[in-house]
Structures are given as structure tokens and as C-alpha cells.
Amino acid sequence: MKKLVLLLAAATLSACTLAPRYQQPAAPVQPAYEGVVAGDTAAVPAAEIGWKQFFPDAELQSLLERALVNNRDLRIATLNVEAARAQYRIQRADLVPAIDAQGQSTNQRVPASLSTTGQSELDRSYSAGLGVSAFELDLFGRVRSLRRAALEEYFSFEENRTAAQLLLVSEVANAWLTLIADRELLLLAEGTRDSQRKSFDLTKLRFDSGVSSEIDLHRSEQAWRQAEVDIAAQTRRVAQDRNALALLVGEPLSPEIASGEHAIDAQTFSKELPAGLPAELLVRRPDVRAAEHALKAANADIGAARAAFFPSISLTGFYGNASDDLSALFQSGHTSWSFTPQVNLPIFAGGANVASLNLAKVRKRIEIARYEQSIQIAFREVADALVARATFEDQLRAQEALTRASENSYRLADVRYRGGVDSYLGALIAQRDLYTAQRQLIETRLAGASNLVQLYQALGGGWKE
């Protein structure tokens, strides 16, 4: 009964830790986004919208699937999770005694000057059995605090892997959209180059006939050469876009990826992304959850540092057979056992325990600051994306109207120039305005599509998939 009571008391004490009770810090952000309505509470949150549902294009889905398998950054993040899991299992193993099969042979010669018989002696002994070495009774929860810290670190790495996956999905989608837009800009530059070359041929013909001035000829050639410069620059951007996308996907791309059949204005993603409240980011954003798990790990480390001030009990034991004759080792009558408890009471450590506790408390304050910072970053990313979404539609409508006006202006200016009413300068200015408006229209469409991708990621979209 005494042994049973002692075991129950030890088990009760070992279930306790000296870690402070965890309290989630208050979110240092506003309760709602400025100028944004929370939206329909019945709407599906972005976190529950899978990326296959959000990105309907089959080619983009294929790229995302390949990237999730082949991307090296995501692979490293996944391996870090495996390493953290193994570390946790190592730490958890300290809660139970390690039982080893032990075999030992001891040979000793005693000189005659030390022998009780006055003659030199040769002693041999053999033992074999099961043993436990220095198993610590976790009376004050030091081992359990370390196990808890390792578990929270594992959870943090798992959330970071999820965050890396969401970032990868967003980067692949944006890289694919950029490649589409830059290819459209290349086609626009090539079309402008052909148009300017025809204008140059016409101006040269008029110059040879004495109708146009030499300055008109040079202005026409200048516009033609500028278009060729834009083609070279845009060709380089397309090649670099393909390289960036291939790096994200993790394998070479086929030539038809993001080909001309994919227009930037046809990439319409789901616009029904309810913003919700900033407090919901605490559970929807994996990076915020990862920061909180790191904070919980630091909180558990304080418990381990506090336990270092109290006594520790370690047990070493052996049960098996022992004999001075190897052939008789496993015969009856040679049972042997030993039980060696050891108590360590810290008295003087040169301030190391106090410094370790202070270090654990400082690291917890650091993790609190990082947790609060992750919330603020998440709040800003969502707020910026919401503000951009509210203005991109108006900007796109205005840019489309500007492009139509530029087309009409160039058409009339070109007719007047060809009719000999105006000089080539008016037609050249109108052509440049149209070219600029067309480029800005493509760039605005790209920015609008990228904004939806950014908002989807900022709201934690797709992390459940």
C-alpha cells in the first residue's frame, strides 16, 4: 500500500507543470475594416473556398497541382514539419523510462599488497538483465513542459507549411497572370510596330512626292523604331516570366503555357469573398496561428525553467542474473537486482537557473510581439486588398472609356493626315496616346485580377483544401 500511495502521488505531481496559465493576447487592430461592410454572414468564407473552385482555368489548376508536388520551398517546409514531429516524439519519450537489455563483464586483478589473503587475486564477474538508467521522475513538470513546447513547435511548423502552400498558390497564379498580360503587351507592341511601319512607308512616299516634310518622315521613323524597342523589351519580360513560373512550378514548362488563347480580361475569379471581421483572421490565417503556437511554446519553456529551481529525482535500476562463472550465469540462484534513486537539490549554480528563467520570460515577450505583429500584418494585407478591390472596378471602367476615346481620336487624326488636312504630328500624338491607353488597359486588368488573388490569400483562402 505504501508503494502504491507513493506511485499515485508521483503520478499526480507529474501531471502538473509550473508553466504560467496561457492567455491569448488581445488583437491590436480595429474591430472592423474602415469603410467595408462585414458582408453576408451566411456567405462562404474565403478560407473554405478551395483553390480549384476559386481558379476555374484548367491550365492554371494543372500548374498549381504540379507546383504543390514539385516546388522546393514547399518541400523544405514539409520536411521541417517532419523534423519537428520527430523532435516532439524524442521529447515525449522522456516521459517513460527507457528499458535496455544489459550485459556486463568485469575483470579485476588485485595485487598481493592489497589482497586480504596476501596473494594476488583475479576476480571475474558477469551479469545480464534489464536496466533503467537515470529516469527522471517528473515531479514538477519539467519534462512535460519541454514536451509541450516541442508539441507547440511542431504545430507552428505545420501552420507555416500551410502558409507556404497558400503563398505558393498565390505566387503561381500571379506569375501565370503576369505571363498572360506580358504576352498581350508583346502582341500589342508588334501590332503597333506593323502599323507604324505602314505609316512610315506612307510618309516616305508622301515625302518623295513633296507632300510631307522631312520632319514628318523622321517622326514617323521614330515611332516605328520605338515600337521595335518595346518589342525587344517585352520579349525579354515574357522569357523572364516563363522562367519565374517554371521555378515556382518546379519543372520545365511547355511552350503553349499561357498562350494567346488565354486573355487577361477573360480571367474572372470569384468576387464573392466576404471580408468578415479582423478577429476572424486569428483562425483563418495559418501564419497567425503559427505565431500563436510559437507563443505557447515559449510559455511552456517558462515552466521548464521554473522547475529547475526544485529538486529532481532520477531512478537507476537493474534486474537480471549475476555470477562469477559465465557458464552458471543463467542458472537458478543467481538472480540479482539493484535500485538506485538519486535526489538532486540545486543550491548554487552561479545564477544560471535565474538567468534561464529570465531568458524564457524575455523570449515569451518576444513571441507576444511577433504574434501581435502577425495580426497587424494580416489586418493590413486584407485592408489594402479590400481598398484596392473597391477602386479597381471604377478604374477599369474609366480606362476602357479612355481607350475607346483614344481609338476615336487616332482614327480621326489618321483620316485627316491621310487627307492632307493636318500634319503627321497630330496623327503621331494620337497614335502614342492610343498605344499608352491600350497598355494601361492591359496593366489595369492584370492589377485587378492580381488583387483578387491577393485578397483570396490574405483572407486565408484555400488552407482547408
Asked if residue 182 has pLDDT above 80, the reply is: yes
What domains can you pick out in the chain, each with its CATH number?
15-97+139-309+355-458 (1.20.1600.10)
pLDDT band, very low/low/confident/very high, at 12 (cuts 50, 70, 90): very low
Answer for the pair 426, 353: CB distance below 8 angstroms, yes or no.
no
pLDDT of residue 211: 73
Which carries the bigger pLDDT value, residue 209 or residue 301? 301
Highest mean pLDDT among 35-44, 230-239, 317-326: 230-239
Residues in Cβ contact with 79 at an 8 Å cutoff, skipping those fewer than 6 apart: none
Report the alpha-carbon distance of residue 179 to residue 240 in Å, rounded. Answer: 9
Asked if residue 14 has pLDDT above 60, the reply is: no
Asked if residue 404 has pLDDT above 80, the reply is: yes
Which carries the bigger pLDDT value, residue 333 or residue 13? 333
Report the alpha-carbon distance of residue 420 to residue 355 in Å, rounded. Answer: 90
pLDDT of residue 270: 67
Asked if residue 370 has pLDDT above 80, the reply is: yes
In three-state secondary structure terms, 310 is coil
User: Could you give the percent of the chain with pLDDT greater than 90?
Assistant: 45
Buried b (16+ CB within 10 A) or exposed e, 437-459: bbbebbbbbbbbbbbbbbbbbbb
Asked if residue 13 has pLDDT above 50, the reply is: no
In this prediction, residues 225-231 reach a mean pLDDT of 91
The residue count of the chain comes to 465
Which carries the bigger pLDDT value, residue 259 or residue 285? 285
Asked if residue 429 has pLDDT above 60, the reply is: yes
pLDDT band, very low/low/confident/very high, at 39 (cuts 50, 70, 90): low
pLDDT of residue 129: 87
pLDDT band, very low/low/confident/very high, at 199 (cuts 50, 70, 90): confident
pLDDT of residue 249: 94
pLDDT, mean over the chain: 86
Asked if residue 35 has pLDDT above 50, the reply is: yes
Asked if residue 242 has pLDDT above 90, the reply is: yes
pLDDT of residue 377: 94
In three-state secondary structure terms, 113 is coil
Answer for the pair 263, 180: CB distance below 8 angstroms, yes or no.
yes
In this prediction, residues 210-239 reach a mean pLDDT of 87
Burial zone of 314 (CB within 10 Å; 0-12 exposed, 13-18 middle, 19+ buried)? middle
Asked if residue 41 has pLDDT above 50, the reply is: yes
pTM for this entry: 0.83
- For 51-103, write each residue's pLDDT tens digit: 888 898 899 999 999 999 999 999 999 999 999 999 999 888 888 888 889 88
Report the alpha-carbon distance of residue 398 to residue 392 in Å, rounded. Answer: 10
Highest mean pLDDT among 15-19, 112-116, 363-367, 382-386: 363-367
- For 285-310, write each residue's pLDDT tens digit: 999 999 999 999 999 999 999 999 99
pLDDT of residue 271: 62
